[in-house]
Amino acid sequence: MVRIVVVGGGWAGVAAALAAAKAGAEVTLLERTDSLLGTGLVGGIMRNEGRFTAAEEAIAMGGGDFFKVADSVARHTNVNFPGHSHATLYDVAKIEPAVRRVLLERGVRILFQTRATDVVRTGQHLEAIVTNRGQIEGDAFVEATGSAGMPANCTRYGNGCAMCILRCYTFGSRVSLTDKAGIKGLTGRNKKGTPGSMSGSCKLLKESLDPAIVEQLNQTGVAIVPIPVEMQKKDALLLKACQQYALPEYAENIILLDTGHAKMMTSYFPLDKLRQIPGFENARYEDPYSGGIGNSVRYFDMAPRENTMKVIGLENMFVGGEKAGPFVGHTEAIVTGTLAGHNAVRQAAGLPLLEIPTSLAIGDAIAYVGEQMRTEEGLGQKYTFSGSVYLQRMKELGLYTTDIDQIRDRVRQAGMLDYFSRPVL
């Protein structure tokens, strides 16, 4: 049987593992921490703006299992907040066990607290991954380790380690396996021109907020509280990874979303300042624990790759999520991870690799970001179905729609209906 090894258990990694298992492979998923999903444990937003289109495309293609999982543990649906509409907010406390069950039911072997540190290769062909548990061999590999981590980057380009969900000091820093394989990685930049970008939001303990704010969050999923003018910090928006939220409303207000905790759509708001805003007198950060000082810095060591998600310069290594380019978001990680996992099986089986047609939003995004990341200007942008430059492109191309029947028909015309549901072995 074909053996696929996926490194990294975030949204891209779990999607790659599931896609490879559905294609008929024996799959091992390596995760350096003690739980799956990484930043998905504190994210919580699906289906806002063009992400709705991408999610429904993935479902129609047979690769949307985890969108259905997120729907099943949603706290709120069809939520509107500044710059965004029809969002689903999933419960960050319930999502990981639900995802884990799906993988185990598909026979995916998950190795927790297994940190990849190197590769074994012969020329351009990878033979095995070196971990703290020894070597793990495979026929093809998917790296979905993300682009954050390494506290030195957070210190040099941010405000130091903020003790985020990645927990580098506990489980060890992320290691770029494509770098270890001799492939020079790419580094993104923020709007100020410095390397990397800060994560876009923090979590507050909901119970630490004024009861009126909590009630509004529980009922509607959103709370918007004005920030006094003298406390606004509009320049901070330039550093955000999530440029779809770099809107004036996010500098002028505290915008909260209910994902179980109160997701605050503002980076590193000093706690002493935050507590001066009415309703936040007792506020407490839940993630990152030092959220008032800093947040994780991302977009280092991205891999040059083809539109099949295969790494350029390696025969049997594929990438998904932020490792595959300056993508932002869970949806973006799931769809790129799905293609990476599926094509890893095809590569190992000696079959032609799949490129998703650009008549679909997913295919266009993968191709467009791949093209843009080859340029200096492109590395200074972030790409997401939910806003900024890519949503604008979606609209210009007529790809953005919330009409599920139209999306399914588009997938059918592209010859991709239920494609990822069918085994290739």
Task: Identify the burial level of 10 via C-beta atoms within 10 angstroms of its C-beta, where 0-12 means exposed, 13-18 middle and 19 or more buried.
Answer: buried
Specify the pLDDT at position 290.
92
User: How many residues would you count in the chain?
Assistant: 425
Specify the pLDDT at position 199.
83
Q: Provide the terminal-to-terminal Cα distance of the chain, rounded to the nearest Å.
A: 9
- Please state the pTM of the whole predicted model: 0.96
Per-residue pLDDT reduced to its tens digit, 270-294:
899 999 999 999 999 999 999 998 8
The answer for 329, left when phi > 0, alpha when psi is -120 to 50, beta otherwise, is left
State the number of CA atoms in the 13 A half-sphere of 81 facing the CB: 34
Task: Identify the burial level of 199 via C-beta atoms within 10 angstroms of its C-beta, where 0-12 means exposed, 13-18 middle and 19 or more buried.
Answer: buried
- Identify which of 63, 6, 71, 62 has the alpha carbon closest to the alpha carbon of residue 36: 6
- Identify which of 187, 176, 183, 188 has the alpha carbon closest to the alpha carbon of residue 312: 183
Please tell me the distance from the alpha carbon of residue 179 to that of residue 381, in angstroms, as a whole number: 22
For 3-193+297-421, CATH number? Answer: 3.50.50.60
Specify the pLDDT at position 394.
98
Specify the pLDDT at position 235.
58
Specify the pLDDT at position 246.
61
Please tell me the distance from the alpha carbon of residue 410 to that of residue 425, in angstroms, as a whole number: 27
Tally Cβ neighbours within 10 Å of residue 21. Answer: 24
Which tokens hold the place of 157?
């380009």
For residue 277, the SS3 value is coil
Q: What is the residue-wise DSSP string for 174-199?
A: ---HHHHTTPPPB--B-TTS-BSEE-
Query: Residues with Cβ < 8 Å from 318, sequence gap 6 or more?
Result: 16, 140, 141, 142, 143, 305, 308, 309, 310, 311, 340, 341, 343, 344, 347
Specify the pLDDT at position 279.
97
Please tell me the distance from the alpha carbon of residue 259 to that of residue 202, in angstroms, as a whole number: 12
Specify the pLDDT at position 250.
82
pLDDT tens sequence for the chain (425 residues): 999 999 999 999 999 999 999 999 999 999 999 999 999 999 999 999 999 999 999 999 999 999 999 999 999 999 999 989 999 999 999 999 999 999 999 999 999 999 999 999 999 999 999 999 999 999 999 999 999 978 999 999 988 999 999 999 999 999 999 999 999 999 999 878 889 888 878 999 999 999 999 999 999 999 999 998 888 765 555 444 554 556 788 888 999 999 999 999 887 888 999 999 999 999 999 999 999 988 889 999 999 999 999 999 999 999 999 999 999 999 999 999 999 999 999 999 999 999 999 999 999 999 999 999 999 999 999 999 999 899 999 999 999 999 999 999 999 999 999 999 999 99
Tally Cβ neighbours within 10 Å of residue 221. Answer: 23
Q: What residue ranges do the domains of the chain occupy?
A: 3-193+297-421, 198-287
